[in-house]
Amino acid sequence: MIAVFDLDDTLYEELTFVRSGFKAVAGYISDRYNISAGHTLSYMMQRLEKGREQIFDDMLTEFGLLSKTNVRKCVSLYRGHKPDISLYREAADCLDRLACVPVYIVTDGHKIVQKNKLLALGLYERVKFCFVTYQYGIKYSKPSPYCFHKICAKEKTTPDKVVYVGDNPRKDFVGIKPYGFKTIRVLTGQYREVQMGKEYEAHLKVSSLAEVNLELLRQFTGEH
Ligand SMILES: [Mg+2]
What distance in angstroms lies between residue 222's CA and the mean position of ligand 1's atoms? 26
Domains of the chain: 2-13+86-221 (3.40.50.1000), 15-80 (1.10.150)
DSSP string for residues in 87-106: --HHHHHHHHHTTTS-EEEE
What pLDDT score was predicted for residue 223? 84
Give yes or no for a contact between 4 and 148, defined as CB atoms under 8 angstroms apart. yes
Instruction: Using the mean position of ligand 1's atoms as its centre, give its distance from the Cα of residue 77 in Å.
Output: 22
pLDDT in tens, the chain (224 residues): 999 999 999 999 999 999 999 999 999 999 999 999 999 999 999 999 999 999 999 999 999 999 999 999 999 999 999 999 999 999 999 999 999 999 999 999 999 999 999 999 999 999 999 999 999 999 999 999 999 999 999 999 999 999 999 999 999 999 999 999 999 999 999 999 999 999 999 999 999 999 999 999 999 999 86
Distance 103 CA to ligand 1 centre (A): 16
Residue 121 Cα distances to 38, 49, 189, angstroms: 26, 26, 17
Rounded Cα gap, residues 194 and 190, in angstroms: 9
Cα–ligand 1 centroid distance for 94 (angstroms): 17
Cβ neighbours of 32 (radius 10 Å) = 11
Question: How far is the centre of ligand 1, averaged over its atoms, from the C-alpha of 74 (Å)?
Answer: 24
| Ligand 1 centre distance from Cα of residue 11 (Å) | 8
Task: Name the DSSP class of 127.
Answer: S
In order of 75, 160, 184, 204, the CA distances from 223 in angstroms are 47, 10, 17, 17
- Expressed in angstroms and rounded, the spacing between residue 6 Cα and the centre of ligand 1 is 6
Q: How far is the CA of 33 from the centre of ligand 1 (A)?
A: 35
Instruction: For residue 185, give the H/E element and its range.
Output: strand 182-186
Cα 107 to ligand 1 centre (Å): 7
Q: Give the distance (Å) from ligand 1 centre to CA of residue 219.
A: 24
Which stretches does DSSP call E strand in 26-140? 103-107, 129-132
Q: How far is the CA of 22 from the centre of ligand 1 (A)?
A: 20
Pairing of strands 162-166, 129-132: unpaired
CA of 21 to the centre of ligand 1 (A): 18
C-alpha 130 to ligand 1 mean position (Å) = 14
